[in-house]
Structure 1
Amino acid sequence: MSDAAPMLKPTPTLSAHNLVKTYVTGDVEVNALRGVDFELYPNEMVVLLGASGSGKSTLLNILGGLDLPSSGEVFYGEQNISHADERTLTLFRRDHVGFVFQFYNLIPSLTAYENVALVTEIAPNPLPPEEALKLVKLGDRMHHFPSQLSGGEQQRVAIARAIAKQPDILLCDEPTGALDKQTGILVMEAIENINRQLGTATAVITHNTVIGAMADRIVNISDGVISDIVINQSRQPAKNLVW
């Protein structure tokens, strides 16, 4: 009989338990989430798949402290952030979470470098802006303005801005939604690079099922519940995706 100690499961960076989110408009109640359990681990990439209105963005917003659940709990490590006050949530978002959305939200009058530097000025342990831009392969474009960059380059600046504060968590909501196939692959390569090099726990919402091949886990969401979880035994690099 082996006396080897059992392998301990790592502590999740984020964990959610029985999340419910209900929106009320007049006399109508919409149940966006209906009892969701979810965990995100260090170094992991998770892809969240589901139709529009399935609850993916609601889940991501609650995990990132942009919204609060109607009931249920969210933990960052051992800290319960489910019903934290606005100051606590602001500090959580500022110090620990990077967000990437479908639209880039860059400041047009600032260069790529300056857009990233805005974040590094308030972060407790930031990457230099030039290093963040090199991680997304834009070291040679850092002094260009958004109008001088392609859509994919602007999205990569947005990714550099999100990770320049060295967050524990990167949450991406349809980061390739406004991009063509080839540009989308470049953007996913940038996210992949961050996940692998910095070990950032990463969750990506997408309608594109092909992107699931990059993930450690694929989480399917339908009608406010997790309908299926697929463990991917062999992550594929973004450059190998066939869209």
Structure 2
Amino acid sequence: MDAGREVVFATRGLTRLYRMGEVSIQALQGVDLELYRGELIVMLGASGSGKSTLLNIMGGLDLASEGTVRYIDRDQRDQDLTHASRRELTRFRRQHVGFVFQFYNLISSLTARENVAIVTDIARDPMTPEAALGLVGLEGRLDHFPSQLSGGEQQRVAIARAIAKRPDVLLCDEPTGALDFRTGIRVLEVLEEINRTIGTTVAIITHNEVIGEMADRVIRLRDGRVDEIRANAERRPAAELRW
């Protein structure tokens, strides 16, 4: 643990076991990890390494089989998510966490503005949909439907929806996985800008090694364990990445 930095997530001995009939799959095996406030993390690993399971447990979408996971908010209130009820996890997600996935999950019958408003209507202290879409460079596309937007624009609407409630943490699972290189870089630039200007802790899951160059730290998972944690001496701007 870095004594000079505020911890936002801390896991100890985190284990996740899935049972499928008589078969048991151990997705996580005793993960000890801290995420720090305001940093940009990239989690690397092959398919099946446990990175999505780890992200889902930290985000309150799944529960650990063993071990603990704690979330510490900006007021230093410590919340143990390990045995939280479904209602408590729903409140935690609503108040503190934004999610971005590989597929955009936009409602096709709603405009970009209306897709973001779904979140702002239930958040405690939200941005306006217009402000959130402006942050991702879509102020000119407010009233366009998903079918009228490119894949990269749809992903940016999804990011705007995630950040509109001003989450402390943004958890991104393969956010560029369905995008071409140029569009993927634009999406990474948006995530980089959100981290830098708003101070949101951003964790990006990817199998793409190069994306790790834009992170403060790279966490590599292998077979459900943390295999390596590496701090970058200097973050490479997303615009300079090449793969």
**Inter-partner Cα distance in structure 1 for 2:118 and 2:239:** 31
Match of 1:43 in 2: 38
Match of 1:124 in 2: 124
Deviation at 1:8, TM superposition (A): 4.6
The structure that has the greater radius of gyration is: 1
Q: Any runs of at least 4 consecutive aligned residues in structure 1 with deviations exceeding 4 A, and if so which?
A: none
TM-score (norm 2): 0.96
Q: 1:45-124 alignment to 2 at 5 Å?
A: 45-77=40-72, 78-124=78-124
Deviation at 1:10, TM superposition (A): 2.4
Q: Give unpaired runs (5+ residues) of structure 2.
A: 73-77
2:4 matches 1:9:
yes
**Inter-partner Cα distance in structure 1 for 2:211 and 2:204:** 9
**Inter-partner Cα distance in structure 1 for 2:196 and 2:222:** 29
Match of 1:138 in 2: 138
**Inter-partner Cα distance in structure 2 for 1:148 and 1:15:** 41
Deviation at 1:11, TM superposition (A): 2.5
SS in 1 for 2:204: strand
2:18 matches 1:27:
no
SS in 1 for 2:234: coil
Deviation at 1:9, TM superposition (A): 2.0
Deviation at 1:171, TM superposition (A): 0.2
Match of 1:237 in 2: 237
Output one character per residue of 1:135-192: Cα deviation in whole Å (capped at 9) or x when no partner. Answer: 1111111111100000000000000000000000100000000000000000101111
Q: Give unpaired runs (5+ residues) of structure 1.
A: 1-6
**Inter-partner Cα distance in structure 1 for 2:30 and 2:189:** 33
Match of 2:147 in 1: 147
Deviation at 1:17, TM superposition (A): 1.0
SS in 1 for 2:205: strand
What residue identity is the alignment partner of 1:140? G
Deviation at 1:43, TM superposition (A): 1.0
Match of 1:157 in 2: 157
**Inter-partner Cα distance in structure 1 for 2:148 and 2:90:** 32
**Inter-partner Cα distance in structure 2 for 1:207 and 1:112:** 29
What residue identity is the alignment partner of 1:112? A
**Inter-partner Cα distance in structure 2 for 1:91 and 1:62:** 15
SS in 1 for 2:140: helix
**Inter-partner Cα distance in structure 2 for 1:202 and 1:138:** 21
Match of 1:206 in 2: 206
2:177 matches 1:177:
yes
2:184 matches 1:189:
no
What residue identity is the alignment partner of 2:15? V
**Inter-partner Cα distance in structure 2 for 1:141 and 1:84:** 39
Distance 1:8 1:17, change over 3 A: closer
TM-score (norm 1): 0.96
**Inter-partner Cα distance in structure 2 for 1:40 and 1:142:** 34
Deviation at 1:110, TM superposition (A): 0.6
- Kindly tell me the number of residue pairs found equivalent between the two proteins: 237
Match of 2:13 in 1: 18
Output one character per residue of 1:73-128: Cα deviation in whole Å (capped at 9) or x when no partner. Answer: 11111110111000100000001000000000000111101100110010001111
- Alignment root-mean-square deviation, CA: 1.0
SS in 1 for 2:202: strand
SS in 2 for 1:95: helix
**Inter-partner Cα distance in structure 1 for 2:182 and 2:9:** 32
What residue identity is the alignment partner of 2:170? L
